[in-house]
Amino acid sequence: MIRALVLLIFLAVPLAAAFAISDPAEMLPDPKAEARAEAIGRQLRCLVCQNESIEDSGADLARDLRHIVRQHVAAGETNKEIIAWMVARYGDFVRLRPPFEPLTWLLWASPALALVAGAVIVAFALREKRPPPAPLSAAEQRKLKDVLKS
């Protein structure tokens, strides 16, 4: 019930927000700064539309956040500072690239762990002694004879 109601708030966000276009007026005049702002925006999650970055989303809040990112970039803040500003308000949830901290150690280690697991399985398989092939059963002996004869 609560869930359904929470979804009601975002009636304007159907399958996918079709207008991922922002107003060109809010883009920074300096292309380098704009590119930096976009790179930061791509790391920040749009909170109301789920799984899109604020750069991809047409939601109203995403537009506001894009605007804020650009203001901070124009003010000369570092990427780290801007992301920290967002995290202070929306928590780590807002970061599409999760921070490296105890909670996410396992996540960031997953490529290495997977490779190690693969190596362990291979080592295990290579270590195993292979039994000599089982002797043929009487029926198989007969069949073999048939095959060889023909």
Partner 1 sequence: MSAAPPARGLSRRALLGIPLAAAAAAGAGFYALLRRMEAGHYDPHAVDNPLVGQAIPDFAPLPAQDPASIGFGSADLRAALHATGRPILVNFFASWCVPCRIEHPQLMAMTGAGIAIWGIAYKDQAADAAKLLGEEGNPYARLARDENGRVSIDWGLYGVPETFLIDRAGIIRGHWAGPLAPETVRDEVSPLLRKYA
Partner 2 sequence: MIPELGHFALALAVVIAAAQAVLPLIGAARRDAALMASAPSLAFGQFLALALAFGALLWSSVVSDFSVYNIAENSQSLKPLLYKITGVWGDHEGSILLWCLILALCGAAVGAFGRALPAAVRARVIGVLGATSAGFVLFSLTVSNPFVRLWPPPWEGQGMNPLLEDPGLAFHPPILYAGYVGFSIPFAFALAALIEGRVDAAWGRWVRPWALAAWAFLTGGIALGSWWSYYVLGWGGYWFWDPVENASLLPWLAGTALVHSAIVVEKRDALKIWTVLLAIGTFSLSLCGTFLVRSGILNSVHAFANDPARGVFILVLLALVIGTALALFAWRAPRLLPTGIFAPLSREGALVLNNILLCSIAAVVFTGTTYPLFAQLLAGAQISVGAPFFNAAVLPLAIPLFVVMVIGPMLSWKRAALAPALIRLWWVALAALAVGVFATFHTAIFPALGFAASVWLILGAFVDIIARIRLFRLPLATSLARLGGIPLAAWGGAIAHAGMGITVAGIAGMAIAEHRIVAIAAGETVDLGGYRWTLEDLRDAPGPNYSARLADIRVTRDGRVIAVMSPGRRSYPLQRTTTTETAIRTNLLRDLYAVLGEERDGKAVLRLHVNYLAPWIWLGALVMAAGGGLSLADRRLRIGAPLRRAAAPVVAA
Give the burial class of 10: count Cβ atoms within 10 A of its Cβ; 0-12 exposed, 13-18 middle, 19 or more buried. Answer: middle
How many CB atoms within 10 Å of residue 108? Answer: 13
**What distance, in Å, lies between the first and last C-alpha atoms of the chain?**
76
Q: Check if the beta carbon of residue 24 is closer than 8 Å to that of residue 36.
A: no
For residue 128, state whether it binds partner 1 (rule: CB under 8 A): yes
DSSP state of 80: H
Residue 64 or 81: which CB sits closer to partner 1?
64
Encoded one letter per residue, x for contact with partner 1 by CB under 8 A and - for no contact, window 80-99 reads: -------xxxxx-x------
Q: What is d(CA 19, CA 56) in angstroms, rounded to the nearest whole number?
A: 9
Closest approach of Cβ 59 to partner 1, in Å?
A: 10
Q: Check if the beta carbon of residue 47 is closer than 8 Å to that of residue 89.
A: no
Residue 15 interface partner, choices partner 2, partner 1, none, CB cut-off 5-8 Å depending on type: partner 2
Residue 149 interface partner, choices partner 2, partner 1, none, CB cut-off 5-8 Å depending on type: none
Binding to partner 1 (CB under 8 A): which residues in 45-64? 47-48, 50, 60-61, 64
Residue 12 has φ and ψ, to the nearest 5°, of: -80, 0
**What CA–CA distances, in Å, run from 137 to 8, 64, 141?**
71, 78, 6
For residue 123, state whether it binds partner 2 (rule: CB under 8 A): no
Residues at the site binding partner 2, with contacts judged by CB under 8 A: 14-16, 18-25, 27, 42-43, 45, 49-53, 56, 91-98, 103-104, 106-108, 110-111, 113-115, 117-119, 121-122, 125, 128, 130-131, 133, 140, 143-144, 147
Interface positions with partner 1 (CB under 8 A): 1-3, 5-11, 47-48, 50, 60-61, 64-65, 68, 87-91, 93, 121, 124, 128, 131, 133-134, 137
